[in-house]
A = this chain, B = another copy of it.
Amino acid sequence: MSSLYTMVNGALVPAGEASLFVNDLSIQRGYGIFDFFKIVNRKPIFLEDHIDRFFNSASYMALDKNLNREALTIQINELMNKNQLVESGIRITLTGGYADDSYTFQDPNIILAQFPLQLSREIQPGIKLLTHEHQRQFPSIKTIDYLMAMWLQPMMRKNEVSDILYHSAGRVTECPRANFFIVTEDGILKTDADNVLKGITRKHLLQLASGHVKTEETEITLEDVRNAKEAFITSTTKHVLPVIEIDRKPVGAGVIGKTTKLLAELLNQKVFFSN
């Protein structure tokens, strides 16, 4: 399929041959964490943030045995040099490792996989979301647990929406792979800070926004969403992606709002032209 290489436990192997034995605890018990960063013009974007979060996830899930920041950075560079992709993403996956009893941790396995990406420099058309009641079990950790998100795919197709918006106890949290923001009627930019994954794009977006709009990291209720003037989601590959409809109801006027546009431009500027 491609001539790319993947790194498994420090060794470069053709991407199509990279494998793990079936007694790995990701296959046996869904146990693993990961992170994903993009590379623009051969340069990783917000790499230190991603590695910080990766190490935090690894430590929290007791997978940081044998993990070394300097060694990991060297491996990332080795992989990028081998694959020579101009615009791409690298996914670092750390699994529970091999366990003959299917349960007891030994040595984690680490996989670095690089994929070509085509990132848009333009703001994308607004998308539709469907809400679903769910709370991720380790919200602040980037685990590989996407059972619910994957299971909801047929429902997404049936409802012709691009993504799911999780809520729990009336509180709107995040999408499965993106953070969620609203702009209130008063023009305040809000995103939840609890029970969500703290996205790297979320962090930089909040910093960029703070010079332009009032920002609040706070609880967002389902009612707040119904009354919102604008909404959008953020992620490493989606950047600022406008949301124009939630549960078949338009967000605000049902078109991309001006704050969303401004923030999308500020973020694109930072990602594509300031690095």
> What total of chain A residues lie within 8 Å of the partner, measured CB to CB?
47
For residue A21, which residue of chain B has the nearest CB?
Answer: B19
How far apart are the CA atoms of A8 and B143 in the complex, in Å?
26
Query: Are A26 and B30 touching (Cβ within 8 A)?
Result: yes
Binds B, one of A89-97, A220-228, A250-258: A89-97
Contacts of A21 in B (CB 8 A): 16-19
Query: Are B22 and A61 touching (Cβ within 8 A)?
Result: no
Interface residues of A in 119-159 (CB under 8 A from B): 134, 137-138, 143-151, 153-154
Contacts of A6 in B (CB 8 A): 22
Interface residues of A in 1-39 (CB under 8 A from B): 1, 6, 8, 16-32
Query: Are B151 and A138 touching (Cβ within 8 A)?
Result: yes
Query: Are A20 and B27 touching (Cβ within 8 A)?
Result: yes
Other-chain contact of A27, B24, B148, B153 (Cβ < 8 Å): B24
Contacts of A25 in B (CB 8 A): 150
Report A6 CB to chain B, min CB distance, Å: 7
Query: Are A62 and B30 touching (Cβ within 8 A)?
Result: no
Other-chain contact of A144, B27, B105, B137, B143 (Cβ < 8 Å): B27
Contacts of A48 in B (CB 8 A): none
Contacts of A102 in B (CB 8 A): 91
For residue A2, which residue of chain B has the nearest CB?
Answer: B100
Q: Is A111 engaged at the interface, CB distance under 8 Å to the other chain?
A: yes
Q: Is A113 engaged at the interface, CB distance under 8 Å to the other chain?
A: yes
Q: Would A105 and B153 be within 8 Å (CB), given that A27-B27, A137-B137, A146-B31 are in contact?
A: yes
How far apart are the CA atoms of A31 and B151 in the complex, in Å?
9
How far apart are the CA atoms of A262 and B1 in the complex, in Å?
60
How far apart are the CA atoms of A22 and B18 in the complex, in Å?
6
How far apart are the CA atoms of A93 and B21 in the complex, in Å?
13
Contacts of A148 in B (CB 8 A): 137
Q: Is A55 engaged at the interface, CB distance under 8 Å to the other chain?
A: no
Offer 18 A-B interface pairs, CB within 8 angstroms, sorted by A. A6-B22, A17-B21, A18-B22, A19-B20, A19-B22, A26-B26, A27-B95, A27-B144, A30-B31, A30-B145, A31-B150, A61-B151, A62-B153, A105-B153, A134-B137, A138-B147, A143-B147, A145-B145
User: Which residues of chain A have a CB within 8 Å of any CB of chain B?
Assistant: 1, 6, 8, 16-32, 61-62, 91, 93, 95-96, 100, 102-105, 111, 113, 134, 137-138, 143-151, 153-154
